[in-house]
Amino acid sequence: MSDVLLVTGGSRGIGAATAICAAKKGWDVAINYARDAEAAKKVSNQVNVFGRRSLTIKGDMTSEDDILNMFEQVENELGHIKGLVNSAGTTGKTARVENMTALAIRQILELNVVGLMLCCREAVKRMSTINGGAGGYIVNVGSAASRLGGPNEFVHYAASKGAVDSFTLGFAREVAKEGVIVNAVSPGMIDTEIHASAGLPNRAVEAAPGIPMRRVGRPEEVAEAIVWLLSPGASYCAGAILPVTGGR
């Protein structure tokens, strides 16, 4: 039986590309989604093409109950979770700081930070050798925005991803001796639908001239980095934050 990977936000963008890339490398994949069951099913079908088992799970990653149910369902239907990729996230809508509402800030932090931390908590309960587990891999999806700051657009989002970076560093050092390998990727400008959902459908293309490689990245390029961090090839990486930014 193959190792089991859980991907939150796995129905679109980087999460979907990661699920498919992982299946190519031999993982069985559980695909979490928030709303679009059809998109999740398409990813699941692509996982099956590579002879791997798949599972789609609807769940809101801002809900602790949904997170608990998700982990339980994966274990019941696919088996022990060996890998976790925290890809679920949101930029929120663009706004200068002076125009941000408390609700908008909380919504971003609840998903990008609190939900991610709770998923890590549930994973380490199962993976850590001190909890009777056999070890495992966790990769958090951060963002280059954490060091670029997102001025005039996404300062709240950038701050949430800064929290992801800090959490990854501390968490990795906490559990490295327990067989749990924790790292993060820090994508730059990637061509996904997240820009359109923020109200800026052309944002990625317009940013290309400011990127040293003079192009935006593809979700598949980030997925390759994530799946490498899930592999024995990255066995001495812990607390790494791997930029996938085209040099930006």
Total number of domains in the chain: 1
For the whole model, what pTM was predicted? 0.95
- What secondary structure letter does DSSP report for 175? H
Question: Annotated active-site positions, please?
Answer: 157
Domain that holds residue 13: 4-244
pLDDT digits (tens, 9 = 90+) for 157-214: 999 999 999 999 999 999 999 999 999 999 999 998 765 566 666 777 778 899 999 9
**CATH no. for residue 210?**
3.40.50.720
Question: What does the pLDDT read at residue 204?
Answer: 75
Asked whether the predicted pLDDT for residue 35 surpasses 60, the reply is: yes
pLDDT digits (tens, 9 = 90+) for 36-87: 999 999 999 999 999 999 999 999 999 999 999 999 999 999 999 999 999 9
